[in-house]
Amino acid sequence: MLVVDAGPSALTKAILTARHRLEVYMRPRDLSAHGAYIPGEGIEEVARELDMEPDALLALGSNENPLGPSPKAVEAIQAGAEAVAEYPKSSHTDLTRTLAEQWGVTPAQIWLSPGADGAIDYLSRAALEPGDRVLLPEPGFAYYGMSTRYHHGETDTYPVSRERDFAMPVEAVLEAYDGHRIVHLTTPHNPTGAIYTRDEIREIAAETNDETLVVVDEAYGEYNRHPSARDLVEERSDIAVLRTFSKAYGLAGLRLGYAIVPEAWADAYARINTPFAVNELACRAGLAALEDDAHLEASIESARWGRQRMHEAINAPTWESHGNFVLAHVGDATAIAEALKHEGVIVRDCTSFGLPECIRVSCGTREGTEQAIDAINEVLETA
């Protein structure tokens, strides 16, 4: 019998065509404008990279609290482990109410979020229409721009430059301002440690349009000796303040932050919040951390000592910092950061911030800070 190969059947052709269409069309939207967030390297990944023991490394690249979390927060996490089968309802309410009492606002003005970056997203959702423009610092926290673009907004920048010795004059913001829907201010600023005073924030808000929201990021606010901008939220309906438990409270791994918003914005939270976005253990740990004043004060004093010590002792130009880190001008930041890893010290190469000649060094314990200073000076001497 003669067998003739008739080729693929009509059904096979249809399946192949459908598969091709899926390959062509089942893609995410164009994300080419979205640069990936580059975090500081962690101990485990560097230990694997260099085949070192994790205990031999000092992590000073991510502005974490070297004292760790409050023992009370650890106890709360352990005690609450069996509650993770339930959604975080009462704990979320309790933490919201406690923060509202602490800041003297209504509970509806506290927007709990998964990290301060979650609060940035919430404000973007609440404020931005497609094509709205947002003004942000350059260099600065990359997520301001990322969140803007995720919500179909567009970004412009104002400079925080070495030419101005990393000062942040009001004029730099207002010169770049052109009716933007959101203006992001970071105080203390990351990675420079510079600040805006409350009067300067008030001036920026007064000189921008009524429909412009000024978002004041105080992620490092506990380390700053100047008062919070929280009072301005009561004065005006166009200022929101961001806070986090990641830094001074030592809860970075739990991703817990919040926004303090004007009363006029309060009812928007329920409409834009991801359901149960802040988890049960984070809420419990946050409540416990707020009760441990001694741990918070020790964390703040440790950072203030560390930043002053590094400012005085690192053999490279540094800038006064109001955060828990110091920015140092070292020449080739990538090479210096790589050399420091081999000396057991992880710092932040600020090339991703647009500062390829600078490293950012987080404050460690007293022992860790001294170790970092010695390693940095040794590497700089042989570079």
CATH class given for the domain over 71-291:
alpha beta
Tokens of 209: 């349009």
Q: What is the pLDDT, as a whole number, of residue 185? A: 98
Among residues of the chain, what percentage have pLDDT more than 90?
81
| Helix 90-103 × helix 280-290 angle, to 10° | 30
Residue 24 has pLDDT above 80, yes or no: no
C-alpha distances out from residue 59 to 52, 174, 253, 304, Å:
13, 38, 15, 18
Please give the average per-residue pLDDT across 127-132, as a whole number: 97
Residue 14 has pLDDT above 70, yes or no: no
Q: What is the pLDDT, as a whole number, of residue 1? A: 47
- Which amino acid, one-letter code, is at 266? A
Please give the average per-residue pLDDT across 215-227, as a whole number: 97
Are 43-66+294-382 and 71-291 in the same CATH fold? no
CB 221 within 8 A of CB 243: yes
Residue 22 has pLDDT above 60, yes or no: no
Q: How far apart are CA 101 and CA 257, in angstroms?
A: 16
Q: Please, what is the average pLDDT of the chain?
A: 92
Residue 383 has pLDDT above 90, yes or no: no
Side-chain-facing half-sphere of 320: CA atoms under 13 Å = 7
Please give the average per-residue pLDDT across 121-136, as a whole number: 97
Q: What share of the chain is helix, strand, coil (3-state, %, to 5)?
A: 50, 15, 40
Residue 25 has pLDDT above 70, yes or no: no
Residue 306 has pLDDT above 80, yes or no: yes
Q: What is the pLDDT, as a whole number, of residue 30? A: 77
Please give the average per-residue pLDDT across 183-191, as a whole number: 98
Q: Given phi > 0 = left and psi -120 to 50 = alpha, else beta, which region is 179?
A: left
Burial level of 162, CB count in 10 A (0-12/13-18/19+)?
middle
Residue 67 has pLDDT above 70, yes or no: yes
Q: What is the pLDDT, as a whole number, of residue 222? A: 98
Q: What is the pLDDT, as a whole number, of residue 16? A: 60
Q: Which among 294, 298, 319, 296 has a CA at the least distance from the CA of 307? A: 319
C-alpha distances out from residue 313 to 35, 271, 340, Å:
35, 50, 17
Give bridge partners of residue 243 from the DSSP assignment: 258
CB 46 within 8 A of CB 338: no
Name the band, by pLDDT with cuts 50, 70 and 90, for residue 41: confident
Q: What is the pLDDT, as a whole number, of residue 99? A: 98
Q: How far apart are CA 195 and CA 228, in angstroms?
A: 11
Q: What is the pLDDT, as a whole number, of residue 330? A: 97
The more confident residue out of 54 and 228 is: 228
In 3-state terms, what secondary structure has residue 349? strand
Tens digit of each residue's pLDDT (9 = 90 or more) over 144-158: 999 999 999 999 999
Tell how many helices (H) and how many strands (E) occur in the chain. 14, 12
Name the band, by pLDDT with cuts 50, 70 and 90, for residue 292: very high
Among residues of the chain, what percentage have pLDDT more than 70?
93
Q: What is the pLDDT, as a whole number, of residue 51? A: 78
Residue 13 has pLDDT above 80, yes or no: no
Name the band, by pLDDT with cuts 50, 70 and 90, for residue 5: low
Please give the average per-residue pLDDT across 142-171, as a whole number: 94
> Given strand 358-362, what is the order of strands in its sheet?
325-329, 358-362, 348-349
Name the band, by pLDDT with cuts 50, 70 and 90, for residue 43: confident
For 239-270, b/e burial (b = at least 16 CB within 10 A) is: bbbbbbbbbbbbbbebbbbbbbbbeebbebbe
Residue 3 has pLDDT above 60, yes or no: no
- Cβ atoms within 10 A of the Cβ of 196, count? 22
Name the band, by pLDDT with cuts 50, 70 and 90, for residue 272: very high
In this structure, of 42-46, 203-207, 332-336, the range with the lowest mean pLDDT score is: 42-46
43-66+294-382 folds as Aspartate Aminotransferase, domain 1 (3.90.1150)
Domain regions of the chain by residue span: 43-66+294-382, 71-291
Please give the average per-residue pLDDT across 38-46, as a whole number: 77
The more confident residue out of 267 and 72 is: 72
